[in-house]
Amino acid sequence: MTFTITPTATDARAPDLTSARDAAAHIARNCLHDGPAGRVGLEIEAHCFDLTDPARRPGWDELTRVIADLPPLPGGSRVTVEPGGAVELSGPPLPGPLPAIAAMTADRAVLRTAFHRRGLGLVLLGADPLRPPHRVNPGDRYRAMETFFTASGTRSAGAAMMTSTASIQLNVDAGPRDGWADRVRLAHALGPTMIAVAANSPLLHGEFTGWQSARQWVWGRLDSARCGPVLGESGDDPASDWARYALKAPVMLVNTGDGAEAVTEWAPFADWADGRLRLGGRRPTTADLDYHLTTLFPPVRPRRWLEIRYLDSVPDALWPALVYTVVTLLDDPAAAAVAAEATAPVATAWDRAAQLGLGDRHLRAAAQRCVAAVADRAPTEIQESMRQLTRLVEQGRSPADDFSDRVVAHGLAPALTQLALTQPAQGEL
């Protein structure tokens, strides 16, 4: 889902940048939009499995044929294929969490049915628990990313990130300018608690990892200059924090006009902008800067709106309540106040949340307070989903615990097939 058009890095009209200060000013001017909050967009990624052979990874032609034959989706989502063959639905911005949930639910039903008819299942897990990393999307951007990760010494983590992880992404308005600092701080502070609540990837490549969210563990193995939290020391000026972060981050790709080319030496964008080095034999343009920003993957990313990027994919029975909870904690002032206080003791516990989930008593306490602040507000359409989420949190269980139990009881391949065939209960969104 995008609130605005995607920048094109090959636009010959884009002006050259004269310095890192010039680049910082461009970022700060454009990273957050001053306006009312309320719109919500959703992106949900699902791993695609062969229902008769879960160890087989469906290929590019197979996936794109199914997508080409889809009818128009009732909720207006775009369908794309991730590097490893995960299928993503990206919904449009809609006025509030419930319309966004309803639209995404309708689109997921159509997509799931179409894939099932071809003998394929779409499974909502934070990481592929069975298959080794393998890229099926032939896009030049992803080929270049592989080259970058190899050159930077993170080949294994980069391959796993691109081809073995899946998430639920929330997109929310930045809100009024005078509330940006508090809103961005809260979006970050919620991260560890919501990672623990949503943790749903205990296995990777056929083995238990010892982490409730192997997806978050994989992201944590990548360069923190590209994937770590954005917030500066105080968090009082998120636009400047984002500019500083982006300019320090090494350039991953340069768009040459014929495609993406990997940068294999450490090259902070600030050095390129200041003329200390040249990439592609030239100075950067604002289009190059905009493209660079698309290669940064912090847990909360400013893109005029805020991308919340830290949630594992979770089952259809749970994600409506999870989405409603996070959006309400950000958008409702009373719920936000509760969340800010509840998450303060664990606001930087990213790794602990990924490893232990709600097995950590401090994260569990924060999660219980956050979910309780929202549960009574849930509209009728998602009350069953909210009851299930509340029950898990009260028990100190993450979705990963349920999946682990299923694997132990039935085996990994049968557990995946069961999940692929599971349908939401009648009456759920």
Does residue 393 belong to any structural domain of this protein? Answer: yes
Residue 249 lies inside a defined structural domain of this protein: no
**What per-residue confidence (pLDDT) applies to 424?**
63
The beta strands (E) that lie in 293-399 are given as 300-303, 305-312
Q: Which two tokens stand for residue 10?
A: 């090959």
Q: What is the pLDDT of residue 167?
A: 98
Residue 286 in any domain: the answer is: no
Residue 287 falls within a domain, yes or no?
Answer: no
* Domain range for 394: 35-230+297-421
Q: How many domains does the chain have?
A: 1
* Domain assignment present for 242: no
Instruction: For 126-156, write each residue's pLDDT tens digit.
Output: 999 999 999 999 999 999 999 999 999 999 9
CA–CA separation, 24 vs 397, rounded Å? 43
Q: Read off the amino acid at residue 10.
A: T
Which tokens is 53 given? 């052979």
Domain assignment of residue 313, yes or no: yes
For residue 212, is it within any domain?
Answer: yes
Report the C-alpha gap between 334 and 293 in whole angstroms: 33
Q: What integer pLDDT is reported at residue 234 of this predicted model?
A: 76
pLDDT at 427: 40
pTM over 0.85: yes
For residue 81, the model assigns a pLDDT of 98
Q: Quick check: is 173 in a domain?
A: yes
Asked whether 327 and 97 are in contact (CB, 8 A), the reply is yes
CATH number at residue 87: 3.30.590.20
The series of mean pLDDT values per 10 residues for the chain, 429 residues long, is 36 76 96 97 98 97 98 97 98 98 98 97 98 96 96 96 98 97 97 98 97 97 94 85 97 90 96 94 94 97 97 98 98 98 97 98 98 96 97 98 98 96 58
The pLDDT of residue 231 is 85
> Which amino acid appears at position 219 of this protein?
W
